[in-house]
Structure 1
């Protein structure tokens, strides 16, 4: 511990918990980002080119179900059981993927990974609320952001080297001992965190609603890849399934950003959707409009990731600043970065402004995402923290999928000759900037309503995990 006596996320009471959380985040993030590099080789060896998109969709749909399962497990059985289930399921998916001899089995393995990843994502938020006092959470979420950025920088390159020199299967199998090590670090510190209550809806009902929402997301993604009457029908069915499935999974008023916790969850969706929609389009724009190669087209995304990490570290150093202030600033920086990215269509500029504009957008995410995480834990009741964390993640995934789907429709329209490609890019920028501006306008609603009780998490003694044998070792 530091001489000042102030607790930190790496002091004696927290270091094993923090290390375990960061390892899990890093390795799950690496697998999520690296799989795109290994996928072409995998589908070629498994003779599954026609199924190319299914491993991604299977992971996404299953992760929504996993988020609901993770929230229910945490609220009913405690974080220890939830993380054991999540990591075990994810590890089983890695093993199945690495040993797959047929594309159908590979797709099934990706679905198993998705369930595990969804449980892990929710459980980490619950652990953050139970094991860390409010003043430590900004720094903890700054560390979370850094753990996501590192795989973004080195994951694709490392996965390419592994695929080339060892084989694509080791992109999955090589993660097994590492992710199990992260779990081993966490479990001793979680012994005192049992079930917190029975506030969630029955698991069976929520599981089926989550599956329906996941099917809706997959349908929208598929519809965005084509431009015909059949795609319109798929999109209508997808929207209906998504709306019907997601309503029981998120707090009432989240879509309207009703003040308090609904606004926190709704704002998470706006922030993620606006950023990841353009994140998917930007490399294609640079390649199509300016002839960039894969490496050069990916550099703006790296700039965005670095901006995200830098801003996240900065907000972690200022726990005294109101989170809604940082959230509003984050939304406005994201809107500025998105709007500035419209310069990619100017031929004379040759795309270079995107290196700066996407870094600005990343700064906005680095301020906004950790602030929303802190606000979630402040406002979520202890007995509902698992379900609320699941809703938080589901809003992220859902809006990201919807916005990427909209971008896909515009690109498909350009490919069919209904629009020029620059026009499609400008329309995408306009569509994605709108939710960022709305979020900036309504950001104060994410603060706790007047008269709201303090979160029960502020009563959790921060020294409790240190009493376990694992932290004394």
Structure 2
């Protein structure tokens, strides 16, 4: 390793403002994600949209797939700068539409637009990291991204709940929009003078095909969510058919062998999708459980998510320091084990009416599991990539993440609608999460090792 590489830092003069701006965007994305999870029970009640509760989560994740494909193709062909600018603009626009919505359907439109921006922003930032930072700094950058969740973990859920309870839930969206615009200016000014590469010519027909497939995946995932408004005898067949079609449509957007869990990058991408589905489908109903079953206010339900977010950030830092020593297979087994343990705790509290402390503490284990797993899978993806496919592979990882989460959340919502709410409905959601976490172990044992560097 050269002296220059050894001295390189994510905080050096060449990169500091890009680092600050990128971390700020991640920070605000974390604030928004935590806010939505906390305030959605309030929003669905205020806009009379309880039947669309799951779609409000799944729709954003579904349209993010379109943003990911577009940003990945744009980044590979022309570099990530333009893709990042457009993505952040769409994210802000979606927040504004949702914040000013007067019906649940208007709110959902905002969430769909926001998803386009969220997906594109994630992929573009990954490619910026790949192009601007040397490989030995990738682990530190993603550890910093994870650490950007720390302050939101401390204040985000509580603040979102308090704003919804004492001011107006709308400001949990409008406030983030204003702050994101400021963060965007910080990174945009600095990136103007940075060479991020110009990419390589792309096959336009292939790009159009991938975009059309992304649209199909998004529409079908939203359809699974809307199946909750149908009679169960119709909704379940519609959902099953849509999931089957999603499986076919998403294949060209992922590395070959992903659904077969081929060793290496395909298993990295598959595990991300399954683990994300297990975690986020369950988390969407944790604050709902605290409010419905245990009488928590929005403020205190937000506090209930804080431990999990703390654990996520802390585990990400540990992974950054000791991930290479632990090894990929061990991280996969530990992380999925923690998620299963968490879901067993929450399931017990939901079915047996045990103390809500068990929900809060138990869900902390899930955050720890995801904190170990998420950055490791991201670093592995970049390690399996080169300049010709960084955009495709980064978008594939995020597509699996969002598609898995969207479909799992939509199916959980359909299950809740079929069972009519209550302890049994919550129990079904968490049992579903456990099943997904167990399945995630299969690709977890086949992650392999690429050219990842020690993450210290």
Tell me the TM-score normalized by structure 2: 0.84
2:311/2:368 contact within 8 Å kept: yes
2:340 matched to which residue of 1? 335
Deviations 1:124-172 (A, max 9, x none): 1112222223332222222212323533543354446666787666554
Distance 2:108 2:351 in 1: 41
2:78 matched to which residue of 1? 77
Q: Residue 266 of structure 2 is aligned with which of 259, 262, 265? A: 262
The answer for unaligned runs of 5 or more in structure 1 is: 459-473
Q: Residue 236 of structure 1 is aligned with which of 222, 230, 240? A: 240
Select between 297-306 and 389-398 the one with higher mean Cα deviation: 297-306
2:38/2:301 contact within 8 Å kept: no
1:437 matched to which residue of 2? 438
2:336/2:438 contact within 8 Å kept: yes
Residue 392 of structure 2 is aligned to residue 387 of structure 1: yes
Residue 286 of structure 2 is aligned to residue 282 of structure 1: yes
The answer for unaligned runs of 5 or more in structure 2 is: none
Q: Superposed, which structure 2 residues align to 1:69-468 within 5 Å?
A: 69-96=70-97, 107-159=108-160, 171-187=172-188, 188-189=190-191, 191-198=194-201, 202-224=206-228, 228-318=232-322, 320-321=324-325, 322-345=327-350, 347=352, 349-415=354-420, 422-448=423-449
Question: 1:224 Cα shift?
Answer: 4.0
Deviations 1:88-145 (A, max 9, x none): 3333444555666887665544433221221101111112222223332222222212
2:30 matched to which residue of 1? 29
1:62 matched to which residue of 2? 63
Deviations 1:286-343 (A, max 9, x none): 4555444544544442221111111111112225423443233222222232234332
Distance 2:320 2:158 in 1: 29
1:470 matched to which residue of 2? none
1:227/1:412 contact within 8 Å kept: no
RMSD value, Cα: 3.5
Change in CA separation of 1:234 and 1:161 when aligned onto 2, cut-off 3 Å = same
Question: 1:350 Cα shift?
Answer: 2.5
Deviations 1:332-378 (A, max 9, x none): 22223223433214647424323332212211111011100110110
3-state DSSP of counterpart to 1:390: helix
3-state DSSP of counterpart to 2:196: coil
Change in CA separation of 1:126 and 1:441 when aligned onto 2, cut-off 3 Å = same
Change in CA separation of 1:58 and 1:350 when aligned onto 2, cut-off 3 Å = closer
Tell me the TM-score normalized by structure 1: 0.81
3-state DSSP of counterpart to 1:34: helix
3-state DSSP of counterpart to 2:366: helix
2:131/2:197 contact within 8 Å kept: no
Larger-Rg structure: 1
Distance 1:173 1:293 in 2: 22
Distance 1:136 1:377 in 2: 12
1:7 matched to which residue of 2? 8
